[in-house]
Amino acid sequence: MAKVFNIALAGNPNAGKTTLFNYLTGARQHVGNYPGVTVEKKEGICQHGGMELRVTDLPGTYSLTAYSVEELVARNFLVNEKPDVVIDIVDASNLERNLYLTCQFMELGVPVIIALNMIDVARHRGIEVDAEKLSSLLGVPVVPLVARSGQGVDLLLDTVLRVVEEKKPYPPLRLSYGDDLDQVLDDMVPLIEQGGLLTDTYPASWTGLKILENDDQILDRAMKADSTLADTLVRRSDEVTSHLQRTVDTYPEAMIADHRYGFIKSILRQGVISQRFDVDRLYTSDRIDKIVTNRFLGPLIMGVILYGLYSFTFNYSALPVDWLASLFGFFGDAVSRVLPDGPIKSMLVSGVIGGVGGVLGFVPIIMFMFLGIAVLEDSGYLARVAFMMDRIFRMFGLHGSSVMPFIVSGGIAGGCAVPGVMATRTLRSPKERLATLLTVPFMNCGAKLPIIALLIGAFFSAHQAQYMFLATVVSWSVALLTAKFLRMTVLRGESTPFVMELPPYRFPTFKGLFIHTWERTWQYIKKAGTVILAISILLWAMMTYPGLPAGKSAQFERQRQEVMAAYAPQGVSAGQEKGRPGQVAESPELAAKLRVIDNREAQAALRNSLAGRMGIALEPISRFAGFDWRTNIALVGGFAAKEVIVSTLGTSYSLGSVDVEHTTSLGERLARDQHWNPIVALAALAFIMFYAPCFVTVVCIARESGSWKWAIFSMAFNTFLAYFLAVAIYQTGMALGLAS
Ligand code: GDP
Ligand code: MG
């Protein structure tokens, strides 16, 4: 049989009693009424450490007077039922007022544990409470708590067990209530104790205090128990009351309250509370907010700031991006020159340096972007953006706090869905959070930018900026509409209010900015170094093996021999093959012809490779959207990482293009290719912007949503949506004859 203890939850209204009660007892609750009154009484059971705790949720009160039913119910319960422990739930963000009740529990001499609740809210307001100090000053255990998330509940229960096992006495707290009252109390207490007046229910000092406070219930009971003694006490009380009236124009009740507050203040002033920012700053912040979050000026300012972030990022990162590109180009050349031809060299150059280098090349952009965002975040501005956008987001079943994940994922330009998915942790409602993390991959992340820029540059070069802007608008529209769709179907549910406190504005610190920027940049670099490296090598292998059958290779070799023979009428022997460079240098025409054969061979090899076969196998489906097999290879590769799309497309199209000069760019090559036209480009853009998130994002979605179900849903849903859009664009465009 487990030991049974009775626990009461008490505290001010809205301190979180019911939240903690529900967390502790779950479904094992019973709701009734306190006898004779309409005040609700909730009871429940909670098991912890081999004990059974019977928990009662007391009505919320600010005091323990006899003026209200709730207060009477609460104090009667405490003195009649004598719970083993009273958990006093205290709102840490409003400590002074909440401790007023605590103080009275201690005067009543009940075993109290302070549950210092809402430390999250307090922290948000810049209030830090030193629980240990508070505990040692008050002499009762103090456990920090976030009842809403259950953080600290285990420690609280451990403390409950410790206190009930200890069976330490809790002598009533005797404060000083000023000379006059102290003297009277000193006289009263021995009289009450000797007369045994209500002493089996209340401590003598409490009865004395209540008589001074003119408490109806206590006076009543005292009269019934021992009217002579009660009369004597009341007379003393009346004397001091009129004395106080005459001298300081106040009543004992007010005097007592003042001294309780004085006691609390003196405790709080001893370093229990530290305010991280001062009230002045809050005031200044309010004034700034009048302008910055103004209904009309706000969005305008936001536009300017976001545009500033845009240009800051791209202007300042242009140079380092060039440096990095040259650096990796240099590496590639060096490796090409040093290593002999063969699979190792091909893997290092195309797979490792090409793949990882392409990704690392983005580091400066990412870094500047994150630095800009860190400034906005640390200064407190981003919270204002969330605040302003909340109304719009709410229409789509999202929340103001969804803005940040969208921006991080590339809502403005060049983010990444991985930190974006992680940023959804600030959302409290699970459904709003899921709707957000499932739609952030629709943003144009940094990895999609190169391919978007490439296609726009190749097919819509006259209106690049407009198309870029359009891509951003479309990505937001699709994300918001999808969120709305999800919130109306699989994620149906209430929307939660915007409770985020607007933190005061403050100047970001260098250290803070550095840490924020570096954390995120490092995350990105790690991804490039590990995942992308592996993917690049894998893709390189898939595009290289199994290679051409020996017979086919020999056929191409024979063609080369024939061409060379034609240019060297003296006759070419097998041994002279090594002289090819010199011969080629002599005749540009020969070089071109040889390159055509090389390309044909490479194309045949690609077709025969694993990736090539996959691309060809997908053609029956992809042709409705206008994609040929080489595009398919790139798109499949893009699932691994979107960065890979451009490089894969580059490889497959350079290998595939037979007659085109080597020096033309990929964009030009696509523009000239018969498989491509502006409509195909638009369809491809739609597909690339919206199909399955990259592999790393999918893993993150699984981790953050707590189940692979949502990760798989995201892949399937997005790919289907993207395919639908691409087919719609391609078919409509072709039907209208817009292809040329
Ligand atoms: P009661 O009046 O003491 O029963 O308080 P409730 O349990 O009803 O809580 C009042 C409000 O505070 C509810 O909206 C809770 O969700 C919220 N709340 C409770 N505990 C916490 C907490 O630790 N942190 C935050 N942020 N909110 C809390
Ligand atoms: Mg409640």
Q: Burial, 201: exposed, middle or buried (Cβ in 10 Å; 0-12, 13-18, 19+)? A: middle
Apex CA 698: angle with CA 148 and CA 496, to 5°? 30
Look at residues 275, 295, 318 and tell me which one is the last residue of a structural domain: 275
Q: Does residue 314 surpass a pLDDT of 70?
A: no
Predicted confidence (pLDDT) per residue in 179-215, tens digit? 899 999 999 999 999 999 999 999 999 999 999 999 9
Q: Does residue 133 surpass a pLDDT of 50?
A: yes
Residue for token pair 């009450």: 192
| Residue 329 amino acid letter | G
Q: Does residue 158 surpass a pLDDT of 60?
A: yes
Residue for token pair 């054969």: 597
Q: Does residue 572 surpass a pLDDT of 50?
A: no
Both 233 and 316 in one domain: the answer is no
Considering the domain boundaries, does residue 584 fall inside one?
no
Instruction: Give me the mean pLDDT over the 41-60 stretch.
Output: 91
Considering the domain boundaries, does residue 236 fall inside one?
yes
Q: Cα(20) to centroid of ligand 1, in Å?
A: 8
Q: For all residues of the chain together, what is the average pLDDT? A: 85
Give pLDDT, residue 661.
46
Say how far apart CA 102 and CA 80 lie, in whole Å.
19
Are the C-beta atoms of residues 445 and 366 closer than 8 Å to each other?
no
DSSP for 530-597, please give it.
Answer: IIIHHHHHHHHHHHHSS---HHHHHHHHHHHHHHHHHH-TT---GGGGGGHHHHHHH-HHHHHHHHHH
Are the C-beta atoms of residues 457 and 558 closer than 8 Å to each other?
no
Which residue puts its alpha carbon closest to atom 12 of ligand 1? 16
DSSP for 323-336, please give it.
Answer: HHHHHHHHHHHHHH
Both 158 and 210 in one domain: the answer is no
Both 102 and 154 in one domain: the answer is yes
Structure tokens that stand for 472 in this block: 């951003």
Considering the domain boundaries, does residue 572 fall inside one?
no
Both 159 and 210 in one domain: the answer is no
Considering the domain boundaries, does residue 252 fall inside one?
yes
Q: Does residue 95 surpass a pLDDT of 80?
A: yes
Both 46 and 84 in one domain: the answer is yes
- Percentage of residues in the chain with pLDDT exceeding 70? 90
Both 425 and 296 in one domain: the answer is yes
Give pLDDT, residue 585.
57
Give pLDDT, residue 476.
93
Domain that holds residue 190: 179-275
Give pLDDT, residue 619.
94
DSSP assignment, residue 509?
Answer: P
3-state secondary structure of 488: helix
Q: Does residue 310 surpass a pLDDT of 70?
A: no
Task: Pick the more confident residue, 328 or 231.
Answer: 231
Closest ligand relative to 41 C-alpha:
2
Ligand 1 test: best mutation among 9, 12, 14, most atoms within 8 Å of CB? 14
Considering the domain boundaries, does residue 574 fall inside one?
no
Q: Which residues are within 8 A (CB) of 209 and not within 5 positions of it... i.e. 6 or more apart?
A: 107, 177, 185, 256
Q: Cα(135) to centroid of ligand 2, in Å?
A: 25
CATH number of the domain that residue 86 is part of: 3.40.50.300
Give yes or no for a cis peptide into 508 (omega within 30° of 0).
no
**Ligand 1 pocket check for 121: Cβ under 6 Å:** yes
Both 270 and 344 in one domain: the answer is no
Say how far apart CA 441 and CA 456 lie, in whole Å.
21
Say how far apart CA 543 and CA 611 lie, in whole Å.
5
Closest ligand relative to 12 C-alpha:
1
Q: Which residues are within 8 A (CB) of 421 and not within 5 positions of it... i.e. 6 or more apart?
A: 405, 409, 437, 440, 441, 697, 700, 701, 704
Say how far apart CA 484 and CA 435 lie, in whole Å.
8
Give pLDDT, residue 219.
95
Both 396 and 249 in one domain: the answer is no
Considering the domain boundaries, does residue 256 fall inside one?
yes
Are the C-beta atoms of residues 99 and 264 closer than 8 Å to each other?
yes
How would you list the strands of the sheet with 112-117, edge to edge?
A: 29-33, 40-48, 51-57, 3-11, 85-91, 112-117, 142-144
Instruction: Give me the mean pLDDT over the 221-250 stretch.
Output: 93
Give pLDDT, residue 655.
56
Both 101 and 215 in one domain: the answer is no
Instruction: Give me the mean pLDDT over the 35-42 stretch.
Output: 75
Both 262 and 289 in one domain: the answer is no
Are the C-beta atoms of residues 380 and 500 closer than 8 Å to each other?
no
Predicted confidence (pLDDT) per residue in 644-670, tens digit? 888 788 777 765 444 444 446 677 778
Predicted confidence (pLDDT) per residue in 491-501, tens digit? 998 777 665 55
Q: Across 346-360, 417-431, 622-636, which has the greatest mean pLDDT?
A: 622-636
Are the C-beta atoms of residues 312 and 372 closer than 8 Å to each other?
yes
Q: Cα(52) to centroid of ligand 2, in Å?
A: 22
Residue 271's pLDDT band (boundaries 50, 70, 90)? confident
Q: Does residue 545 surpass a pLDDT of 60?
A: yes
CB count, 10 Å around CB of 347? 17
Give pLDDT, residue 414.
66
Instruction: Give me the mean pLDDT over the 587-612 stretch.
Output: 83
Task: Pick the more confident residue, 314 or 176.
Answer: 176
Q: How far is CA 168 from the centre of its chain?
A: 44
Instruction: Give me the mean pLDDT over the 529-544 stretch.
Output: 80
Are the C-beta atoms of residues 710 and 438 closer than 8 Å to each other?
yes
Look at residues 250, 275, 300 and tell me which one is the last residue of a structural domain: 275
The region that residue 6 occupies, defined by phi over 0 for left and psi between -120 and 50 for alpha, beta otherwise, is beta
Closest ligand relative to 39 C-alpha:
2
Residue 377's pLDDT band (boundaries 50, 70, 90)? confident
Considering the domain boundaries, does residue 595 fall inside one?
no
Give pLDDT, residue 584.
59
Look at residues 132, 166, 200 and tell me which one is the last residue of a structural domain: 166
Considering the domain boundaries, does residue 599 fall inside one?
no
Q: Does residue 696 surpass a pLDDT of 60?
A: yes
Predicted confidence (pLDDT) per residue in 315-337, tens digit? 777 788 778 878 877 887 888 78
Predicted confidence (pLDDT) per residue in 665-691, tens digit? 677 778 888 889 999 999 999 999 999
CATH number of the domain that residue 248 is part of: 1.10.287.1770
Q: Burial, 92: exposed, middle or buried (Cβ in 10 Å; 0-12, 13-18, 19+)? A: buried
Task: Pick the more confident residue, 75 or 468.
Answer: 75
Sign of CA dihedral 302, 305, 311, 312: negative
Core vs surface per residue 695-709: b (16+ CB within 10 A) or e: ebbbbbbbebbeeee
Pick from 189, 242, 193: which is nearest to 214 by CA? 242
Instruction: Give me the mean pLDDT over the 47-73 stretch.
Output: 90
Residue 103's pLDDT band (boundaries 50, 70, 90)? very high
Q: Does residue 376 surpass a pLDDT of 90?
A: no
Q: Cα(41) to centroid of ligand 2, in Å?
A: 10
- Give the position, in ligand 1's atom list, of the atom nearest the Cα of 119: 23
Q: Cα(500) to centroid of ligand 2, in Å?
A: 22
Give pLDDT, residue 130.
94
Number of domains present in the structure of the chain = 3
Give pLDDT, residue 282.
62
Say how far apart CA 664 and CA 657 lie, in whole Å.
11
Both 256 and 327 in one domain: the answer is no
Both 187 and 151 in one domain: the answer is no
- The bridge status of strand 127-129 relative to strand 142-144 is unpaired
